[in-house]
Chains A and B, each alone.
Chain A
Amino acid sequence: MRHLLSTRDLGRDETIAILDVAEDMAGVADREVKKLPALRGKTVVNLFFEDSTRTRISFEAAAKRLSADVINFSAKGSSVSKGESLKDTAQTLAAIGADAVVIRHHSSGAPLVLAESGWIDAAVVNAGDGTHEHPTQALLDAFTIRRRLHGRAARGKGLDGVAVTIVGDILHSRVARSNVWLLTTLGASVTLIAPATLLPIGVREWPVTVGYDLDDALAAKPDVVMMLRIQSERMHAAFFPNAREYSRQWGLDDERLATLGADSIVMHPGPMNRGLEISAGAADSAKSTVLEQVANGVSVRMAVLYLVLSGTRLAGERPATNERTAS
């Protein structure tokens, strides 16, 4: 794998192969010495144009467990915000000798631009770009679902027949986009639930079922309910009237939690707004995978860094130029 830019470009076999490598990596976390020498001598740069401590420390832990050297470059508040361009930053990192750049950027498509620019030869891993994609989050979500369903026998399996309902701000969510492509590629059926203002125009052309009513969606007994974070600035831009109304219509409260099937799970990419999109009861219930997601995130990111830095060619991996056509 040369880069990881989006889940839209990933095929089923390739995705399962990444998840299987992540299973191997998860084994390392269970050992007394949580470290492999696999990436010794490699330099991973965490290039964050947006604050995200959670994602950064997850990538940092992943790189360190593989013995890579890690440089954290927070572009926010540095020379970058004073007009230094992505190009200059990339060329600086190339000069430093970065082997992989983990990039978080507020602008959709920035990781692709970086990967194709010729400014730097490093592997590029998208750690979230604008409102476009967050592929490692979708991989860790798929990994988490697969483990809950199949436990230690998860290797080699997809998510065929699994019903996943994603609730919240689909319009601005890179997590939702990456999950839609990845989960459907793995055979899951995905339902998106949100007020109409928070669904992108054209969402009905996506390979999903779209609805407005959370209670209807829960009555269909989905295997997985994934709640998305609602950002407070959305309230001020007329996407919905206020937090109370949002919470009443689209929040996973204790009553709705009680209607879920016995084996169903509740996911959230974090950080959570307890009491807004998810109640404390739901967040802390046995159905919640929130902390598993965090732990699995490290394993998945280890797998991704390992694969892009070792140049391993995966089963079913397509050439980088082979764009996936619209579904």
Chain B
Amino acid sequence: MTETIIVRSARLSDGTSGDILVRDGVIAELGTVSSPADRVIDADGLLALPGLIDLHTHLREPGFEQSETVLTGSRAAAIGGFTVVHAMANTSPVSDTAGVVEQVQSLGDAAGYVTVRPIGAVTVGLEGKQLSEIGAMANSRARVRVFSDDGKCVSDALLMRRALEYVATFGGVIAQHAQEPRLTEGAQMNEGALSGQLGLAGWPAVAEEAIIARDVLLAQHVGARLHVCHLSTAGSVEVVRWAKARGIDVTAEVTPHHLLLTEQLASSYDSRYKVNPPLRRDEDVRAVREGLADGTIDIIATDHAPHPVESKECEWEAAAFGMVGLESALSVVQTSVVDTGMLDWADIARVFSRVPAQIGQLAGYDRGIAVGAPAEFTLYDPKASRVFDTSHLHGKGINSPYLSTTLPGRVIATIHGGYATVLDGELVDAETISRHSAVQSGAHHG
């Protein structure tokens, strides 16, 4: 038995309003619904967005469970309005074999809050020396389609070429963390006037742009598909725009924090603002917003990177790179590109759900909220406003750059696989979720 849910009077991202009937895991009716239901959600004034899909999430399990687990990261995702996350491969052991990616996937299934899609490592141990068993991961139960050494760049040009060619064999895509390693040795923050004053070693824009330029040319040469992770500079936007104009098969993502925050925050030496790639200049923030608005940048992805408190409670250079981002993502996107009039909610549905699904080759997200589509959506109150604090964080990490700042919007409910993972702005308890999830997988496979 699965739940029947009626969502009353939700506004869809196309501007229309109406009820949504969820039955047997799919959207059964739209418009004015009069059927009986187990649960009625009043969505008057709320926006219904298709389930958000994060193509770039660090879930840390296996190996770094003190930072995050698949369960805690899934909860952080659900409260952020996500129904799918892609788990990055820099686990321990590294997700470079069928065994590890299947383990991550089944941990995700067991948790039940979101669909967890493992990303496979491009190279063994993320060491950039030898291709990992890409075919075995692609053909495993996890059906991996996205491969990345994220955290490290596949900097060897020949290895990158081979990886681009080889994943084409399995219909996959390489998601590149673009960072020329020699140009960024010891790098701490964006290189510019400010890094010079603060005495922090610079991470120059050219170290990102040079790799993207090389990779789009390689992708063109071998006729392969490339995805650029967390693009952060104005120059990178120009390179990708140029590549797309030439017909090169490239997609790019930007993080919420690169859409909102600038390097000025590093002046405090507060390590919550230490992230890789680093926060950039005002003009870079403007350029990535424009790139997202004009389609040069295809998607938003969080790069959610939880760390234990002690990894951030220290001097800047000793601190770990990374910020948590799942719980705040939609609010940060609203304040940076929606409230500024650069994108509308239909655009957000595209860049945060439909296109990430295409890149990750996930079925069911091509039509958004439509009759017959899987029931994967979130109800969001864009008129809400909150002082963001640790009570809004539901993963293990509290390394958020937004603590004590006022953010707009709030996720009120999230529906995944036909059942609610978030109701009344609160997570549904883990037991209820795993019961639903067991029923759900039984219905699919049995």
Contact = CB atoms under 8 A, between A and B. Distances in A.
A323 interface: yes
Interface in B274-322: 310, 313-318
B315 A107 contact: yes
Contacts of A108: 188, 198-200, 269, 316-317
Contact of B199 (A113, A130, A203): A130
Contacts of B310: 85, 87
A205 interface: yes
B191 A201 contact: yes
Given A201-B204, A202-B192, A133 B315 contact: no
Nearest to A201: B191
Given A108-B200, A113-B269, A202 B315 contact: no
Contacts of A86: 314-315, 318
Interface residues of B, number: 25
B313 A109 contact: no
B35 interface: no
Interface string A275-296: 0000000000000000000000
A292 to B, nearest CB: 27
B199 A133 contact: yes
A113 B191 CA distance: 21
B171 interface: no
B199 A129 contact: yes
A270 interface: no
B223 interface: no
B315 A110 contact: yes
Interface in B191-245: 191-202, 204
A87 B199 contact: no
B390 interface: no
B198 A109 contact: yes
B267 interface: yes
A112 interface: yes
A3 interface: no
A113 to B, nearest CB: 5
A201 B202 contact: yes
A85 to B, nearest CB: 5
Nearest to B193: A202
A200 interface: yes
A132 B267 CA distance: 11
A113 B316 CA distance: 8
Given A85-B310, A86-B314, A107-B318, A202 B195 contact: yes
A109 B316 contact: yes
Interface string B124-145: 0000000000000000000000
B231 to A, nearest CB: 21
B314 A201 contact: no
A107 B194 contact: no
Interface string A204-228: 0110000000000000000000000
B196 A200 contact: yes
Contacts of B268: 112
Contacts of A203: 193, 196
Given A129-B199, A132-B198, A201-B204, A107 B317 contact: yes
A53 to B, nearest CB: 22
A107 B189 CA distance: 13
A129 B188 CA distance: 15
B316 A107 contact: yes
Nearest to A170: B196
A174 interface: yes
Interface string B245-284: 0000000000000000000000111100000000000000
A129 B317 CA distance: 11
Interface string B2-39: 00000000000000000000000000000000000000
Contacts of B192: 201-202
Interface string B170-200: 0000000000000000001001111111111
Contact of B314 (A87, A132, A326): A87
A177 interface: yes
Contacts of A132: 198-200
Nearest to B201: A131
A105 interface: yes
Nearest to A181: B197
A200 B204 CA distance: 12
Contacts of A133: 199
Q: Closest 8 A-B residue pairs measured CB to CB? A: A202-B193, A200-B196, A109-B269, A132-B199, A131-B199, A108-B199, A107-B317, A110-B315
19 contacts: A85-B314, A85-B318, A87-B314, A106-B317, A108-B200, A110-B315, A113-B270, A130-B199, A131-B199, A132-B199, A177-B197, A177-B199, A201-B192, A201-B195, A202-B197, A203-B193, A203-B196, A326-B193, A326-B194
Interface of A: 8, 85-87, 105-110, 112-113, 129-133, 171, 174, 177, 200-203, 205-206, 323, 326
Given A86-B318, A87-B314, 8 more contacts: A107-B315, A107-B316, A109-B269, A113-B314, A113-B316, A131-B199, A132-B199, A202-B197
